[in-house]
Amino acid sequence: MSRSSSLPGSIVRTAYRAAAAGLDLVGLKAAVRTHVLPRLLAAAQGSAEAPMTDTTAAMIDAEIRRNLAEPGRLFVGPWTSEVGFELIYWLPFLAWLRERYDVPAERLVAVTRGGAGVWYGDIVGETAELFDLVDPETFRARSAERWRDVGGQKQIFLDEWESDLLARLRARGVEAGQGVLHPYLMYALFWAVWQGKAPASLVDKYSRYAALPRPPDQALELRDDFVAMRFYFRPSFPDTLDNRRLIAGLVERITSKRPVVLLNPRLEIDDHSDWLPAGGEGVLDLGAAMTPSNNLAVQSAAIAQSRAFIGTYGGLSYLAPLYGKPSLAISTAPEHNLPVHQQIADCAAEVAGGRLLVIGRRDLALFADLGLFDQHSGPSETGLNVASLEGW
């Protein structure tokens, strides 16, 4: 959080209202307001007082209405943060926003990265790709700056770099006015939930979950009846010899039954350190098919055509259930996971017809010993026999 996060909530509320009134009085546009008011919202979320969910919701409602009052089309984003938050929070929030404020999809231009525009479907009328504007090195450097400035990836205000990206998109011919529906609206609204100061039902109230639209096939030559797989290291799945052995054993077990398609992009875009096998029979590596601007689209196409997904618990493990697929996600240091994220992901998966199963190293060994990875999977045809785990 920013240094202003220690301000008392009453001061934040007063400052917010005064700033909003003052900026309206001098006729400043919404694009200018977004540099001032979100910082006050961010400060409100870090207040030592009780969570101001009602007040925060009123502030956000006012900001949404101000931006919607701007003429022309609106930018949605830019989204530059985690995959998981985009999938289970941002997209459902946008679907709710469109419904609540009766916004035609044609008015919205979603700005995202890595080919993630394939996730937005009929929520927006157009998408724009950030890696058509910036290279991965610049993107990674700006993400690192956000970590230093606010202590994380969370987009708690529209910063100058993001504003410049939107200006460059306009200059390149993307038709949009000054209105911006920025992720800070969602972050500010749900912050109390992530801090354990408000129930997860608050997220449900401002979200509309749905299955993702089937992505374009990306001209991939995929094998029949395969399992999509991507492992990377993070605090909840650290780079240890035990975890590397766990992955290698899992690949060996799965490839004895059916092909494995690896989704590791070999791109240094975020802070993930991917695990890569030495190769082997039954393994198809899609790394060469991925570029900065299409890697998430390629991974989406593969997952949508797969029997199931297996990998590190994190953002990508949320994707498979949204395509109606089972996802087996592994976390060996669960103390680094926030339980509410899995709770929300489970809700989204249920609506979309998929299944998210999060297990640890001991669980995986037990399931393997009990034969729950046998080739015959029963009526569900998941290839993981997920139905056998009901009630455990």
- For position 373, which CATH number holds? 3.40.50
Q: Does residue 55 share a domain with residue 196?
A: yes
> 382 or 165: whose pLDDT is higher?
165
Q: Mean pLDDT across the chain, nearest whole number?
A: 81
Is 315 in the same domain as 347?
yes
Over the stretch 229-249, which tens digit does the pLDDT of each residue have?
Answer: 999 998 999 999 888 888 888
What is each CA distance from 199 to 53, 180, 196, in whole angstroms? Answer: 11, 28, 7
Domain that holds residue 72: 3-205
- Find the mean pLDDT for residues 87-116: 97
| 363 or 286, which is more confident | 286
Q: Are residues 150 and 277 in the same domain?
A: no
CA angle 160–164–169, rounded 5-degree value: 150
Q: Is residue 309 part of a domain?
A: yes
**Amino acid, res. 387:** A
Confidence of residue 254 (pLDDT cuts 50, 70, 90): confident
> For the segment 47-72, what is each residue's pLDDT rounded down to a tens digit?
444 455 677 788 889 999 999 999 99
The answer to whether the CB of 121 falls within 8 A of the CB of 94 is: no
Per-position DSSP letters for 118-150, written without gaps between them: GG-GGG-SEEEEGGGTS-HHHHHHHHHHHHHHH
Within a domain: residue 283? Answer: yes
**Are 378 and 234 contained in the same domain?**
yes
Shared-domain flag, residues 59 and 194: yes
Is residue 218 included in any domain, yes or no? Answer: no
Residue 213 lies inside a defined structural domain of this protein? no
Total structural domains within the chain: 2
Lowest-confidence pick of 214-218, 269-273, 278-282 = 269-273
259 and 163 fall within a common domain: no
Q: What pTM did the predictor assign?
A: 0.82
Residue 220 lies in a domain: no
For 368, the 3-state DSSP assignment is helix
